[in-house]
Structure 1
Amino acid sequence: MLTYPENYFRRRFRMSKPLFMHIVDRLSSEVDFFRQKKDGLGRLGLSALQLCTAAISVLAYGTAADTVDEYLRLGETTTRSCVENFVEGIIYLFRDEYLRRPTPADLQRLLDVGEYRGFLGMIGSIDCVHWEWKNCPTAWKGQYSRGSGKPTIVL
């Protein structure tokens, strides 16, 4: 899992490798579910890396819980527990820093990033407009179509 180069890692997990490792380290040291334990025979159980990878994979792609079973050797119910505990752990650990109202400095940083990317004054402008997806893959057309019958994406 950590053998991916940075660009593949970001594409696969939707975050940088250092951020991923920071999350794994915090969860494994502060949330009991993510601490590696020994079973009755003294064998090590699942690592924090496996548990976090399962949760982030499911969350990043919106896939079913049983999609990581072969890759990470986790069952569906264990993966569901990973996702639930991951979300609760993230809220517990990072709520004060990231799940709060933005400060003026935060807003200015977001405005600067938006301006750099060509979106001037984008704070408060999100209105969930559906734009027609001209090159939507045929297999996905039904998932992205609404009353008009044409596939759209929300921007």
Structure 2
Amino acid sequence: MSNWSSDEEIDEMVEEEVDSIVEEIQYNYTHPEVPTAPIVRRVHINRNREDGHTRLWNDYFSENPPYTQDMFRRRFRMNKQLFIRIVNTIENGVPYFRQRRDATGRLGLSALQKCTAAIHMMVYGCAAYAVDEYLRLAETTAHKCLLHFVEGVINLFGDEYLRRPTAEDLQRLMNIAEHRGFPGMVGSIDCMHWEWKNCLTAWKGKYSRGSGKPTIVLEVVASQDLWIWHAFFGPPGTLNDINALDRSPVFDDILEGRAPRVKYVVNGRQYKMAYYLTDAVSETCRHKILRSLCLET
């Protein structure tokens, strides 16, 4: 009997065991086991990018391509000479578009492939993976091509093509317009509604007119050679041309006295300010425009 523990010792042992079990339960409750996610390794796809460049070159840029100049213009929204000039300038000015060899000595994507991918994504609004099968470049690469292409165009062509018209430009435009029978005109102005496919649901009512799809208004002034001298983009699609004009800075030069002074006669009446040619406007809208310019008819 002396080998047996006393009742007090047994109670202490039981109490310790119970405390240990409770602590283990509490720990497991507060520290649940998180299953380890399986490691997903990147799948390598041999796209054979060399064939993509060869196919593109043979289809559009070889000596006797199967697709004509008109088809090229319709698909690229510009003539071939202009596209080649852009590609050459981008390739020389943006390191991302220079063709390099990888660690194995294999040539990377050509500037033609990258620029064509960017152009098609902008022109057709297609998804990045849509250019993979023909041009042989991955979706992430296509996104990078578009980003670097837009930045490159702004940096390399902005000083020439994204500038305000100078006094010489305005005088030249008015001389051309007068020769065509429109004295005092400096360009044609109009608005279009650009569909906003990924419009936020909360903003859909603001950018939709009636039961139509959400759109954003683009206001543009262009000359007879399709040179865009002014672009105002952003007003919601519920606005019409006149409402967008009220928000636009297109008349700031006139209001601030920077517009060129001209003299011309129309229907026996002399005018002293240049104007933009537009399509049919109602009499109410016409007076609204004139009032906004603080002019008297």
Instruction: State the TM-score, normalizing by the size of structure 1.
Output: 0.74
2: CA distance, partners of 1:23 / 1:77: 22
Change (3 A) 1:70 1:23: same
**How many residues were matched structurally?**
137
| 4+ residue runs over 2 A deviation | 103-113, 120-126, 146-151
Q: Deviations over 1:61-97 (max 9, x none)?
A: 1111111010100111100000000000001110110
CA 1:106–1:10: 2 relative to 1, 3 Å:
farther
For 1:11 and 1:106, how far apart are their aligned partners in 2? 29
Q: Secondary structure at the match of 2:108?
A: coil
Write the letter of the residue equivalent to 2:156: L
Q: Is the 8 A contact 2:92 2:98 kept in 1?
A: yes
**Structure 1: runs of 5 or more not aligned:** 131-145
Q: Deviation per CA, 1:22-77, whole angstroms, max 9, x where unpaired?
A: 01111111210000010000010000000000000111111111110101001111
Matched, 1:97 2:97: no
3-state SS, counterpart of residue 15 of structure 1: coil
- Picking from 109, 114, 123, the partner of 1:46 is 109
Which residue of the partner structure matches residue 12 of structure 1?
Answer: 75
Q: Is the 8 A contact 1:111 1:122 kept in 2?
A: no
Structure 1 CA distance for aligned equivalents of residues 124 and 174 of structure 2: 25
Higher RCO (C-alpha 8 Å, min separation 6): 1
Residue pairs, 1:15-30, within 5 angstroms: 15-30=78-93
Confirm whether residue 148 of structure 1 aligns to residue 206 of structure 2. no
Using a 3 Å threshold, how does the CA distance of structure 1 residues 104 and 9 change in structure 2: closer, same or farther?
Answer: farther
Q: What's the counterpart of residue 72 of structure 1? A: 135
**Residues 54/111 of structure 1: CA separation in 2 closer, same or farther (3 Å cut):** farther
Work out whether residues 69 and 80 of structure 2, in 8 Å CA contact, stay in contact via their aligned partners in 1: yes
CA pair 150-45 structure 1, distance change in 2 beyond 3 A: closer
Structure possessing the higher radius of gyration over alpha carbons: 2
Match of 2:187 in 1: 123
Cα drift, residue 121 of structure 1: 4.3
Q: Structure 1 residue 62 and structure 2 residue 132: aligned?
A: no
Q: CA deviation at 1:150?
A: 6.4
Cα distance in structure 2, aligned partners of 1:21 and 1:10: 12
Higher helix share: 1
Cα contact 2:98–2:110 (8 A) shared by 1 = yes
Please state which structure has a larger fraction of its residues in strand: 2
Unaligned 5+ runs, structure 2? 1-55, 194-207, 220-297
What is the RMSD computed on CA atoms of the aligned residues?
3.2
Q: d(CA) in 1 for partners of 2:189 and 2:146?
A: 31
Measure how far apart 1:149 and its partner are: 3.6
The verdict on how the C-alpha distance between 1:150 and 1:29 changes in structure 2, with shifts beyond 3 A counting, is closer
SS at 1:148 equivalent: coil
In the alignment, which residue of structure 2 is the partner of 1:86?
A: 149
Distance 1:72 1:110 in 2: 44
Whether the 8 Å CA contact 1:111–1:123 is kept in 2: the answer is no
Q: Is the 8 A contact 2:114 2:142 kept in 1?
A: yes
What is the percent sequence identity of the aligned residues? 50
